[in-house]
Chain A
Amino acid sequence: MIHLTVNGREMSLDVDPDTPLLWVLRDELRLTGTKFGCGVAQCGACTVMLDGMPRRSCVTPVGMIDNASVTTIEGMEGPEISAVQAAWAASDVPQCGWCQSGQVMSATALLRQIPKPTDEEIDHAMGGNLCRCATYVRIRQAIHDAARTLEG
């Protein structure tokens, strides 16, 4: 039995401990906002918050995070994610959309740490999130816009 708190709900799961968190979230809990893109921590599509920090769920066996608290895009709350999502829609960032849950999670984590990031800080924080549609110009813009919103 693996014990996790997922989006604020405590649960015990009867799964193989070597199962990546990604597939537990999707196949067992049907939290499908978290996407699969590579399975080897190269693309960031599977990004979730693990005890508040962004983490690639595809390379995180659930056996290694017993008792941890996991937040997926479905369970995110707070001013940063609201500002990020509003900026994403205002700039029409997404194209196909597949990578965007991961982008939004990484951008939110960035703004929680650095309220007004520079371009270099954005590059650093977002460098692990691939977008095959190359929406990068708008991702950068939307992060700056979200930072301005948060400043008030």
Chain B
Amino acid sequence: MTLLSRRRFLATTAGFTLALVLPTPFARAQGAPPDLPATPNAFIRVGADDTVTVIIKHLEMGQGPYTGLATLVAEEMDADWSQMRAEAAPADDTLYKNLAFGAQGTGGSTAIANSYIQMRKAGAAARAMLVEAAAEEWGVPASEITVRAGRLSHPGGREAGFGAFAAAAAERAVPQDPPLKDPSQFVLIGGQGKRLDSAAKSDGTAEFTLDIYREGMLTVVVAHPPAFGATVASYDDAGALKVKGVEMVRQIPEGIAVYARNTFAAIKGRDALEIRWDESRAERRSSSAMLEDMARALAEARVVEESGDRGALGGAAEVLEADYRFPYLAHAPMEPLDAVIEVKEGRAELWYGCQFPSIDRPTVAETLGLPMDAVRINVLLAGGSFGRRAQGNGHLAAEIAHIAQAAGRDGAFKLLWTREDDLKGGYYRPMTLHRLRAGLDSDGRIVGWENAVANQSIMAGTALEAFMQDGLDPSSYEGSNDLPYDVGARRISWARVESPVPVLWWRSVGHTHTAFAVEVFLDEVLERAGKDPVQGRLELMTPEAGRYRGVLEKVAEIAGWQGRTRAGRAYGVAVAKSFGTYVAQIVEVENGGALPKVTQVWCAVDCGVAVNPDVIRAQMEGGIGYALSAALYSAITLDGEGRVQQSNFDDYRLLRIHEMPQVHVAILPSTEPPTGVGEPGVPPLAPAVANAWRALTGQPVRQLPFAQLLS
């Protein structure tokens, strides 16, 4: 098989299935694609009842890929939105690669971007096959058949839905390179199609991991180490085994696992364990001591970007300097980590919100000593992730596999992390220190800019280490380099620090802190130079920064920008590009006592072609709320013995409804290829709030969260 795709024909209870596997741009880039395996997995299923089900290769965790990818297919099929359905693809990285990664996985706000052509081609191919089948049956030329809103029709009067030809279409060859619509003909892309999952998520019927109950299943909770890097020295399970419902206790590499007939018994059993921990290799520093070590590490920072005259700062009329400090942050998805495994006769089947199938599936196979094809992962909806389920080391997959293995018998097991496990369990946004310096000449022009960053690497030591270049992890400092501003001579550097505290990408990754450091420091510098925050930024933008300029001008327009303060309120602005999407925000802030009260946020976003405008708006609203939570309240801190000081939502405070500002979103029209929106709403919010707060109170904000102002 060269470029020709394979077709599949299946009978299902719903009728006939037209399933397509198309050659991917990735496979083409690698030369001739390999023969695709004989498997029913593919992207589109047309039911006899006219429903079109799109098999979604990306994890739906709220950011909308079910709706987005289905829109792409529906557009090219000329389907009616009401006939569209979505279903998760299982772990299978032959069929379901993320074309941006070359492996199956969701992250980096890539779902729409990497699927844009692939899913449209799938839709266009399916449409062509349906048309050909209809042409044959009706005895008319295919060119005379039109398709609109899910109906095939011929001027001679024949008309039918897709279902009538699903079976016949499946018999036809898949067109290898079907033509795609010109964007001017789009009906559904850029339209107002509703999400496909709202109803099931409003009546309790949407199925998540925790809702899976297998026959004879035991629920498992694990006592994890109280300090990062600690291990079990010894344990006594007598008390736990006395708890009614507890079936067994096992030591696994992650800690001590308690298996019980119900969740409450498992939790009670764990409480009754007595464990002595070996903390000789554990992190015993407090988070403030770790920050001091970071300040020392800056002296060793490696240059990641440098340009212009090295002596620029030395020759400046005035040099401004500031340090910015950022705490560890927990993702705290509303559904804590969980997973279900069933091991039976040499096969393992799993159910969970799996974000990196290409890492998790081999992890399970290796742990259990099974061949890859004996491991099936059913990908379920995830109750949020924000990066938490995107594990470079597959630690959740490893833990559930260890649980099954340690049981020493076939059976089904459900692992639940409680909220305390979640908040104390690591995999945080790295604690980070930024040191910035800028030089101004006697006219107030910026002639030099230095930014040194210190934090842990997310990728080092995981399967993703291969993506690091020359020991550099761009996710640690992305956004501090490649600025849209002409700030004279530049020197950007990074110091990698190490700790047993595991770290992970947290919604917008490096941009969570780099956008703050850059946009807050720049705002201070502009103020010093007597410039308006919006005008001053526009003046500094380079000719290549056109899309930054576009969102900044737009947001100033919709907010009616008039400067830093007006009628007892203050306004702050920030702009950032992350994952290819440009976002500018202006916030309105009142003095809420010791903390800012954010009353309104204006947000302009340029994400290329806007596939689902309402999903984009929702992601901007959600990103703003998520970022505001962190800016105001969130910090994971370690005490003098390396113990996490937070345990639940009473001390890891999240934004509540009365703190949510009004949000006004403008989406810039664009014909550029679409980019993601799950993360890019986050970065500009906190710096905009800090800039407004400084305007309101005169107080510069040099560390997050704001709640630290209270202590």
Q: How far is the CB of B551 from chain A (nearest CB, A)?
A: 20
The answer for the CA separation of A72 and B382 in the assembled complex, in Å, is: 22
Does residue B198 face the partner (Cβ distance < 8 Å to A)? yes
Determine whether B137 belongs to the interface, using a CB cutoff of 8 Å to chain A: no
Chain A nearest CB from B109 CB (Å) reads 15
Query: What's the nearest-Cβ distance from chain B to residue A19, in Å?
Result: 5
Known: A122-B657, A130-B649, A137-B660. A94 touches B198 (CB 8 A): yes
Determine whether B595 belongs to the interface, using a CB cutoff of 8 Å to chain A. Answer: no
Within 8 A of B (CB), among A33-86: 33-40, 42-43, 45, 72-74, 84-85
Give the chain B neighbours of A104 by CB distance below 8 A: 202-203
| A148 contacts B by Cβ under 8 Å | no
Contacts of B662 in A (CB 8 A): 137
Q: Which residue of A lies closest to B621 (CB)?
A: A137
State the majority secondary structure of interface residues on A.
loop
Contact A130 B384 (CB under 8 A): no
A95 adjacent to chain B (CB < 8 Å): yes
Interface assignment of B51: CB less than 8 Å from any CB of chain A: no
Interface residue A109 (Cβ < 8 Å from any Cβ of B): no
Chain A contacts of B654 at CB under 8 A?
130, 132
| Cα(A20)–Cα(B267), bound, Å | 12
Total interface residues on B, CB under 8 Å, equals: 63
| Interface residue B264 (Cβ < 8 Å from any Cβ of A) | yes
In this complex, which of A19, A122, A137 has the most chain B Cβ atoms within 10 angstroms of its Cβ? A137
CA distance A2 to B510 in the complex (A): 52
A28 at the interface (CB under 8 A from B): yes
On whether the beta carbons of B244 and A37 are closer than 8 Å, the reply is no
Q: Given A74-B204, A99-B334: A23 and B263 within 8 A (CB)?
A: yes
From 635 to 688 in chain B, residues with beta carbon under 8 angstroms from any chain A beta carbon are 648-650, 654-658, 660, 662-663
Most interface-central of B336, B655, B660, B663 (chain A CB within 10 A): B660
Residues on B with beta carbons closer than 8 Å to the beta carbon of A85:
199, 202-203
> Known contacts being A127-B656, A132-B626, is A92 close to B206, with CB within 8 Å?
no
Find out whether the CB atom of B657 lies under 8 angstroms from the CB atom of A97: no
The listed residue (B198, B204, B656) touching A33 by CB distance below 8 A is: B204
Q: Is the CB of B656 within 8 A of A40?
A: no
B21 within 8 A of A: no
B533: Cβ under 8 A from any A Cβ: no
A146 to chain B, nearest CB (A): 11
A112 within 8 A of B: no
* Cβ contact within 8 Å between B244 and A133: no
A69 to B484, CA, bound (A): 61
Contacts A94-B198, A98-B335; is A134 near B622 (CB within 8 Å)? yes
A34 proximity list for chain B (CB < 8 A): 204
B204 near A89 (CB under 8 angstroms)? no
For A23, the chain B residues whose CB sits under 8 A away are: 262-264
Docked CA distance A137–B664 (Å): 10
Given A94-B197, A97-B201, A132-B384 contact (CB < 8 Å):
yes
Write the chain A residue with the least CB distance to B651.
A42
Q: Interface 1/0s, chain A 125-145, versus B by CB < 8 A?
A: 011011111111111100000
Residue B657 contacts which of A101, A132, A140 (CB distance < 8 angstroms)?
Answer: A140
Cβ contact within 8 Å between B383 and A93 = no
In the assembled complex, how far is the CB of residue A140 from the closest CB belonging to chain B, in whole angstroms? 7
Contact A139 B657 (CB under 8 A): yes
- What's the least CB distance linking B512 to chain A, in Å? 15
Question: In the complex, what's the smallest C-beta–C-beta distance from B260 to chain A, in angstroms?
Answer: 10
**In the docked arrangement, what's the CA distance between A20 and B264, Å?**
8
* Contact present for A97 and B197 (CB under 8 Å): yes
B662 CB → nearest A CB, Å? 7
- The chain A residue with its CB closest to the CB of B658 is A123
Complex-state Cα separation, A94 to B382, whole angstroms: 13
- Bitwise, B165-207 to A at CB < 8 A (1) or not (0) is 0000000000000000000000000000011011111111111
A62 to B334, CA, bound (A): 24
B151 CB to nearest chain A CB (Å): 25
Which residues from B are CB-within-8-Å of A16? 244-245, 264
With beta carbons under 8 angstroms apart, the residue of B204, B211, B649 that contacts A38 is B649
- A123-B201 CB under 8 A given contacts A23-B263, A97-B381, A133-B384: no
Q: Which residues of A contact B625 (CB under 8 A)?
A: 131, 133-137
Chain B CB within 10 Å, residue with most, of A40, A43, A133, A138: A133
- State how many angstroms separate the Cβ of B353 from the closest Cβ of chain A: 9
In the complex, the chain A residue whose C-beta lies closest to that of B217 is A27
Among residues of A, the one whose C-beta sits closest to the C-beta of B199 is A89
In the bound assembly, the distance between CA atoms of A122 and B195 in angstroms comes to 25
List A contacts of B198 (CB < 8 A).
88-89, 92-94
B17 at the interface (CB under 8 A from A): no
Using a CB-CB cutoff of 8 Å, which residues 4-27 of chain A contact chain B? 16, 19-20, 23, 26-27
Distance between Cα atoms of A38 and B654 in the complex (Å): 12
* Complex contacts, B335 vs chain A, CB 8 Å: 35, 37, 96, 98
Asked if B347 CB lies within 8 Å of chain A CBs, one says: no
> Could you give, for residues 93-116 of chain A, a 1 whenever the CB lies within 8 Å of some chain B CB and a 0 otherwise?
111111111001000000000000
- The answer to whether A32 and B210 touch across the interface, beta carbons within 8 angstroms, is yes
Collect the chain A residues with CB atoms within 8 Å of residue B663's CB.
Answer: 137
Q: Which residues of A contact B245 (CB under 8 A)?
A: 16
Report the minimal beta-carbon distance from A75 to chain B, rounded to whole angstroms: 10
Structural contact, B622 and A38, CB atoms closer than 8 A:
no
Chain B residues whose CB sits within 8 angstroms of the CB of A126 once the complex forms:
657
Q: Which residue of A lies closest to B628 (CB)?
A: A134
Q: How far is the CA of A95 from the CA of B385 in the complex (A)?
A: 11
Contact B419 A93 (CB under 8 A): no
In the complex, chain B residues whose CB is within 8 Å of the CB of A93: 198, 202
Q: Nearest A residue to B331 by beta-carbon distance? A: A132
Q: Is B502 an interface residue (CB 8 A)?
A: no
The chain A residue with its CB closest to the CB of B198 is A89
Question: What's the least CB distance linking A15 to chain B, in Å?
Answer: 8
B618 touches A45 (CB 8 A): no
The one of A19, A42, A73, A122 in contact with B204, judged by C-beta atoms closer than 8 angstroms, is: A73
Assess the B650–A95 pair: CB atoms within 8 A: no
B204 pairs with A98, CB closer than 8 A: no
- Interface-central residue, A27, A32, A45, by most chain B CB under 10 Å: A27
Establish whether residues B213 and A30, one from each chain, have CB atoms under 8 Å apart when the complex forms. yes
- Shortest C-beta distance, B583 to chain A (Å), equals 16
Tell me the minimal C-beta distance from A133 to chain B in angstroms: 5
Q: Are B334 and A42 in contact (CB under 8 A)?
A: no
Tell whether B339 is near chain A: CB-to-CB under 8 Å: no
Q: List 30 A-B contacts (CB under 8 A).
A: A19-B262, A23-B262, A23-B263, A27-B213, A27-B262, A27-B263, A28-B262, A35-B334, A37-B334, A39-B419, A73-B204, A89-B198, A90-B194, A92-B195, A93-B202, A94-B195, A95-B64, A95-B384, A97-B381, A123-B657, A123-B658, A126-B657, A130-B656, A133-B62, A133-B334, A134-B625, A134-B629, A135-B622, A138-B618, A139-B657
Additional A-B contacts beyond A95-B62, A132-B386 (20; CB < 8 A): A23-B262, A27-B264, A39-B648, A72-B204, A74-B204, A89-B199, A92-B614, A93-B202, A94-B198, A96-B334, A96-B383, A98-B208, A122-B657, A127-B658, A132-B334, A134-B621, A134-B624, A134-B625, A134-B655, A137-B662
Q: Residues on A close to B: CB < 8 A? A: 16, 19-20, 23, 26-28, 30, 32-40, 42-43, 45, 72-74, 84-85, 88-90, 92-101, 104, 122-123, 126-127, 129-140
Chain A to chain B: the 10 pairs with minimum beta-carbon distance, closest first: A33-B204, A134-B625, A98-B383, A97-B201, A96-B62, A95-B62, A94-B201, A42-B649, A136-B660, A32-B211
Residues of B within 8 A of A (CB): 61-64, 194-195, 197-208, 210-211, 213, 219, 244-245, 262-264, 332-336, 381-386, 416, 418-419, 614-615, 618, 621-626, 628-629, 648-650, 654-658, 660, 662-663
